[in-house]
Structure 1
Amino acid sequence: MTQRWALLAVVYLSIHLAATQHQRRALFPGARRIKRGTYSLVDPTFQRSAADVDLLFEILLAGMQIEGEGHAMLIPDEELASLRSVERLDVICEDVLPKRLSDVRRLAAELARRRRPLSWQDFERTVLTLVYAAQTLAGAGGRQQREAWTDAAVQLFRAVQKDLGPLK
């Protein structure tokens, strides 16, 4: 009888682990298949310390631009752009973030259905995707494109706001 319970527990944990991994992959599928062959960049994240958070804030204030598909990012400040840790941010912007409107909308829809808080990696990627959507919106040409990117940016903003919880 004890073996049956142990087997049942193992099966349950396996299913739970698979479901958890599936949900993470569903948000940012590019995080699991980095185009560059560097092992250390598998499932990359930028913010690993408080100093990294400050650096990301400084990079964003400096006017970082996340480019579209096939391009990475541009940081106008040469000193910031030359920092070694910025390479991880470049990989995230180029290989992980969704760049097509349909992919950004898919992400926003997944986030709207989500009931649990985001992992810190997914939160970071969601905020960077919001930055990309806002930058793309600013440069959008036609009215329909602007409306579509506006809707996507608003949905991403709501997801970030929901994840932060009620602000007091």
Structure 2
Amino acid sequence: MHMGVLLILFYYSTAYVTAAIRHNKVLFPAAQRTRRSSGFLVNPVFQNSLKEVELLYEFLFSGLELDKKLKISVKDEELASLRIATKLDVLCNDIIPKTIPEIKRLNSALVTYATPLTKEDFERTVLTMVYIAYQAARVPGSSKDIWADSFLKLYQALKKDLKEY
């Protein structure tokens, strides 16, 4: 009798630990590190209000530049001078993945993610898709297909997340 109770307790504690580990999976590990030059705390988020959502739309609509070192910047100098543009800079240049292996790691983590995405992870995934679109437009030949495939897989993961939750 006592052995059965112990086995049940062991089973439930194992299930709890497994669920906690899966729930605490970090999709964007770079978000846990800060850049010394930024005044922001760990895990920055761009969109906290409707005004910031509108600003993000303006930033994206005005266009972004992608230099040879893969640094993303806002084309419009007036918009780039806004204080909130620094948050976008940190998100785009320090947090989102920029290489195909990093993007594949993100996609595989999204496919196995058991809970709805947080607004931070959703925002970063969308910004990653924006980066991928810029890269796909920029690279020549067959590399374009690799970037396009990465974009499609992230899109499907986001669509699945939106449908399920």
Tell me if the contact between 1:59 and 1:75 (Cα under 8 Å) persists in the aligned partners: yes
Distance 1:151 1:98 in 2: 15
**Alpha-carbon distance in structure 2 between the residues aligned to 1:38 and 1:79:** 20
Q: Do structure 1's residue 153 and structure 2's residue 141 form an aligned pair?
A: no
Do residues 100 (structure 1) and 99 (structure 2) align?
yes
State the shift of 1:162 in Å.
Answer: 1.8
Would you say the 8 A contact 2:46–2:52 is kept in 1?
yes
Instruction: Give unmatched runs, 5+ long, in structure 1.
Output: 1-7
Instruction: Note if 1:164 corresponds to 2:158.
Output: no
Identity level (%): 38
Letter in 1 for 2:90: V
Q: Which residue of 2 aligns with 1:5?
A: none
Contact 2:65–2:72 under 8 Å retained in 1: yes
TM-score under structure 2 normalisation? 0.81
Corresponding residue SS for 1:65: strand
Q: Which amino acid aligns with 1:84?
A: R
Task: Name stretches of at least 5 consecutive residues in structure 2 with no aligned partner.
Answer: 1-9
Say which one has the larger Rg.
Answer: 2
1:37-48 alignment runs, 5 A limit: 38=38, 40-48=40-48
**One-letter code aligned to 1:61:** F
C-alpha spacing 1:17/1:38, structure 2 compared with 1 (3 Å): farther
Question: RMSD between aligned alpha carbons?
Answer: 2.7
Q: TM-score, normalised by structure 1?
A: 0.79
AA aligned to 2:59 is I
DSSP 3-state at the match of 2:40: helix
